Chains A and B, each alone.
Chain A
Amino acid sequence: MIWDWTAFLHYLHSPYLMMGALVSLALSIGAMLIGLIFGVCAAMMRTSDRRWVRLPASGYVWLFRGTPVLVQLIIIYTGLPQVGIQLGVVASALIGLGVNEGAYLAEIIRSGISAVPKGQFEAARAIGMTWPKTMRVIVMPQAMRIIIPPLGNAFNGLMKTSSLASVISMEELLRRTELLVQVQFKVLEIFIVSALYYLILTTLWGLIQHRLEAYASRSVAGDRASGPAGGRAAIQGNVAVPNDAV
């Protein structure tokens, strides 16, 4: 038997696998949110003037980027109970993936913030804006422009990395794929379906990411109003296209 088209098409709309895919998606979103919280905090701490604020954040980034996320997951789920911290599968997966992701996001966010010209900070301060207000109103929106593409890529990666949760027996897509194969034996067909589900998730996200990037760059798209990005933005009514050439 080489390839069973009937079986393949059957598994393509298997509710069992579809639920698994949704669980993977939920896991990815949850971990991403946790990662963003850790990442933003760590990024802010790393841009501080004070050493005692910077070092813990740098240590966090170093530790969680320096060890494999799989090892981290196994330690959290299987190792921590040994010192009395007992976390369920879902909690372990969320925390493990989230805290790990945060270390990577911290670097992305920090580089986005440092890409905003110092003059923006100064102008905001000169008007009388406090630090929190400056960050919220002036810096972060501009940093977003820089941050969104790598952030989008990080989420893309996270959706695939979530498959590691299968190792700690979380019932997400990969685990369900493995379980199904043990019962039904159509190895290639089922795994191809699984891969396709991942591909659908990442492709859909790619489309969303594209729109987000366009939205974040709309004020920049304006000065290339003759180009495709500017044209698209102008059609959406986001940009005032000047009548006279500047």
Chain B
Amino acid sequence: MEARGIHKHFGRNHVLKGVDLTVEKGEVVVIIGPSGGGKSTFLRTLNYLDRPDSGEIWINGTEMGAPERGSGRMTLSDAGLSRQRRQIGMVFQQFNLFSHMTALENVMCGPVQVLKTARAEAMADAKRLLALVGLTDKEESYPGQLSGGQQQRVAIARALAMHPTVMLFDEPTSSLDPEMVSEVLQVMMNLSVQGMTMVIVTHEIRFARKAADRILFMEDGRIIEEGRPQDLVDNPRNVRTKQFLSIVTDEA
């Protein structure tokens, strides 16, 4: 997956000022930085949930949002964009589970509705994924009956059900009570060990240090510093990286 020169404005606010990122298959990239620095916005341009004003996003050789060749269109159709999004799984800070469906139905929803998988097969797959995140006994529960940590784990299973090539995590533990953070991070850790390509925006520096192949520090719409976890966290080169890390790790 590759992002080139991403710019984004919200009104007069220049939120992303030319961001580039290349992610190799199997890599775990973690983006850290202060709130309002554009991390989430950038993540959301990767699956075109927010359209960049300029720049390109490439995944597996296709450009996100680009009109199909020979279609004569200026922008990609809704159906085309939806098809592109199948390769990318996303986990949200607010979980966003479909509240009128059980956990099992939530996980099955993507395959059945989008991939047109047979119900029986989708159900078996969903049960397997829920077992993977440790929630077999909550299959028939509705999101309203689940704790935050449980909901987020279902959300991860739901994203995995689409068999994506890359998973995006937008501050997955920021809405969780502290005692539930580790159960979600554990699932994410397992996922990374199994070789899933992941781009994670988080404030969990210790997790980043353990799980990431590369950490990016983003502030004010730009990538300030980039490097291996041990380099960036232990010996940050940029003064702003240093400032941010000292504030954040003091609180830990």
Which candidate, A46-54, A181-189, A238-246, is the interface stretch facing chain B? Answer: A238-246
A246-B109 contact given A123-B97, A126-B85, A128-B114, CB 8 Å threshold: no
A246-B92 contact given A125-B49, A128-B82, A223-B142, CB 8 Å threshold: no
A129-B114 contact given A219-B99, A223-B142, A242-B145, CB 8 Å threshold: yes
Q: Which of A119, A137, A142, A219 contacts B144 (CB 8 A)?
A: A219
B140 near A240: Cβ-Cβ < 8 Å: yes
Q: Which of B86, B109, B145 contacts A222 (CB 8 A)?
A: B145
B96 CB within 8 Å of chain A: yes
A220 near B145: Cβ-Cβ < 8 Å: no
B92 near A123: Cβ-Cβ < 8 Å: yes
A225 CB within 8 Å of chain B: yes
Residues from chain A with Cβ under 8 Å of B101 in the complex: 219
Taking the nearest CB of chain B, how far is it from the CB of A245, in angstroms? 10
Q: Which of B49, B99, B155 contacts A220 (CB 8 A)?
A: B99
A4 CB within 8 Å of chain B: no
Give per-residue flags for B194-220: 1 if the beta carbon is below 8 A from chain A beta carbons, else 0: 000000000000000000000000000
B162 near A122: Cβ-Cβ < 8 Å: no
B100 near A127: Cβ-Cβ < 8 Å: no
Q: Within residues 143 to 158 of chain B, which ones have a CB less than 8 A from any CB in chain A?
A: 144-147, 155, 158
A120 CB within 8 Å of chain B: yes
Give per-residue flags for A108-143: 1 if the beta carbon is below 8 A from chain B beta carbons, else 0: 000000000101101111111111010001100110
A240 near B102: Cβ-Cβ < 8 Å: yes
A125-B146 contact given A142-B100, A240-B102, A240-B140, CB 8 Å threshold: no
B78 CB within 8 Å of chain A: yes
Residues from chain A with Cβ under 8 Å of B97 in the complex: 123
Give the docked Cα–Cα distance between A141 and B85 (Å): 23
Taking the nearest CB of chain A, how far is it from the CB of B83, in angstroms? 7
Q: What is the size, in residues, of chain A's interface with B at 8 Å between Cβ atoms?
A: 28
A123 near B98: Cβ-Cβ < 8 Å: yes
Give the docked Cα–Cα distance between A141 and B101 (Å): 10
Q: Which of A122, A128, A145, A242 contacts B141 (CB 8 A)?
A: A242
B96 near A120: Cβ-Cβ < 8 Å: yes
B158 near A127: Cβ-Cβ < 8 Å: yes
Residues from chain A with Cβ under 8 Å of B96 in the complex: 117, 119-120, 122-123
Give the docked Cα–Cα distance between A124 and B90 (Å): 10
B86 — nearest CB in chain A belongs to which residue? Answer: A128
A122 near B114: Cβ-Cβ < 8 Å: no
B146 — nearest CB in chain A belongs to which residue? Answer: A246
Q: Which of B102, B110, B140 contacts A127 (CB 8 A)?
A: B110
Q: Within residues 70 to 93 of chain B, which ones have a CB less than 8 A from any CB in chain A?
A: 78-79, 82-86, 88-90, 92
Instruction: Report which residue of A120, A125, A128, A130 has the largest number of chain B beta carbons within 10 angstroms of its beta carbon.
Output: A128
A243 — nearest CB in chain B belongs to which residue? Answer: B137
Q: Within residues 184 to 227 of chain A, which ones have a CB less than 8 A from any CB in chain B?
A: 219-220, 222-223, 225
Give per-residue flags for A53-83: 1 if the beta carbon is below 8 A from chain B beta carbons, else 0: 0000000000000000000000000000000
B136 CB within 8 Å of chain A: no
Residues from chain B with Cβ under 8 Å of A138 in the complex: 98
Residues from chain A with Cβ under 8 Å of B145 in the complex: 222-223, 225, 240, 242, 246
Residues from chain A with Cβ under 8 Å of B109 in the complex: 127, 137
A141-B100 contact given A122-B92, A123-B92, A131-B78, CB 8 Å threshold: yes
Give the docked Cα–Cα distance between A225 and B140 (Å): 14
Taking the nearest CB of chain A, how far is it from the CB of B179, in angstroms? 14
B173 CB within 8 Å of chain A: no
Residues from chain B with Cβ under 8 Å of A130 in the complex: 78-79, 82
Give the docked Cα–Cα distance between A145 and B144 (Å): 15
Chain A positions near chain B (C-beta within 8 angstroms): 117, 119-120, 122-131, 133, 137-138, 141-142, 145, 219-220, 222-223, 225, 239-240, 242, 246
Given A130-B82, A223-B142; 7 other pairs, CB 8 A cutoff: A123-B96, A123-B97, A123-B155, A126-B88, A133-B113, A137-B109, A222-B144
Return 9 A-B CB contacts under 8 Å, by A number: A119-B94, A120-B98, A123-B97, A127-B162, A129-B110, A130-B82, A145-B100, A222-B145, A240-B102
Chain B positions near chain A (C-beta within 8 angstroms): 47, 49, 78-79, 82-86, 88-90, 92, 94-102, 109-110, 113-114, 138, 140-142, 144-147, 155, 158-159, 162
8 tightest A-B contacts by CB?
Answer: A223-B144, A123-B96, A119-B96, A240-B140, A128-B86, A126-B90, A127-B110, A128-B85
